[in-house]
Amino acid sequence: MKKIFRNVLVVVTTFIISIYVTSWLSNPSSFSFTKTTQEDLANGLKVSIAVPKFGRGDQKSLPSFNSKTSFPVILKNCSTKKQAVWLDKNSWGLSNLSFEFIDKQGNKYEASRFCTSWDSNVCSFWVLEPDDELVVDVSFFPLSQIKWEGLPNLKIGENIFQIRAKYKNAYPPSDYDSWVGTTYSNWDTYSIELVGSFESESNSVNK
Same domain? 48 vs 27? no
Phi, psi of 74 (to 5 degrees): -110, 130
Give me the number of domains the chain comprises.
2
pLDDT tens track of the chain, all 207 residues?
545 545 544 443 444 434 333 333 344 333 333 333 555 555 689 999 999 887 666 779 999 999 999 999 999 999 998 999 999 999 999 999 999 999 999 999 999 999 999 888 998 999 999 999 999 999 999 888 899 999 999 999 999 999 999 999 888 887 777 888 899 999 999 999 987 765 555 454 443
Same domain? 63 vs 13? no
Full residue range of the structural domain in which residue 2 is found: 1-31
Same domain? 4 vs 46? no
71 domain-assigned? yes
The CATH number of whichever domain residue 174 belongs to comes to: 2.60.40
Alpha-carbon gap, residue 123 to 176, rounded angstroms = 14
Same domain? 21 vs 56? no
What's the pLDDT score for residue 34? Answer: 31
130, HSE (Cβ side, Cα atoms, 13 Å):
5
206 domain-assigned? no
Phi, psi of 137 (to 5 degrees): -85, 125
202 domain-assigned? no
Query: Taking the complete model, does pTM exceed 0.85, yes or no?
Result: no
